[in-house]
Amino acid sequence: MADLRQVWVFLQAYEKDLALLHEGLSVSIRTEAFPQESFDGRVDFVAGTLDPATRTVRLRATVDNRSERLKPGMFVKGRVDVPKLVEAKLVQVVPEGALQTLEGRTTLFVQVGSGVFERRFVEVGHSFEGFTEILSGIKAGDVIVSEGSFVLKSEFAKASLAEDH
């Protein structure tokens, strides 16, 4: 005999959302069997590993089920309430095509004068939809080379080889 007044609900969350998820967050559960009804609970476990096939992490929530409408084996949809960011964070992003690897480091080329470019080693963050976040190495207002950066890379590599001889 089981007490179903509180149940565990297992959810899958995408890898990209992992930084927002932690124990204690509120959860709202819905099911097709009772589409007008919502069941409230809290995340009480976030798995330590990702499923390599689905790139998701498993969450467990303890959900109030005093009505005993939720049954073991039901498919549900969950909404985890994550706190809103108080302040939006501005980030610098560049097109992925602007990034090159030079001397084993991620590099951007910055225009410093008419036809004059310098290389900048940069630290990158997240990539999304063709753009990459730049954590350090350039500042707002820098004019970066977004097309033709491979040509500049070749020129820098050629000049480096000439200096070595």
Residue 49: per-residue pLDDT? 93
Give the Cα separation of 131 and 73 in Å (integer).
41
What's the pLDDT at 154? 77
Residues of the chain with pLDDT under 70: 1, 84-89, 159-165
Q: What is the pLDDT of residue 164?
A: 58
Question: 69-103 burial, b for 16+ CB within 10 Å, e for fewer?
Answer: ebeeeeebebebeeeeeeeeeeebbbeeebbbebe
Contacting residues for 155 by C-beta, under 8 A, at least 6 apart: none
CA separation (Å) from 71 to 3, 6, 106, 108? 11, 11, 52, 56
Give the CA distances from residue 108 to residues 51, 56, 139, in Å, rounded to whole numbers and listed in that order.
Answer: 34, 33, 12
For residue 25, CA distances in Å to 31, 46, 53, 136 come to 20, 11, 26, 32
In the chain, where does DSSP find H-type helix?
A: 149-164
For 26-72, the pLDDT digits (tens) are 999 999 999 999 999 999 999 999 999 999 999 999 999 999 999 99
pLDDT score of 86: 53
Residue 15 pLDDT? 87
The pLDDT, as a whole number, for residue 80 is: 92
Handedness of CA 131, 134, 137, 143 (dihedral sign): positive
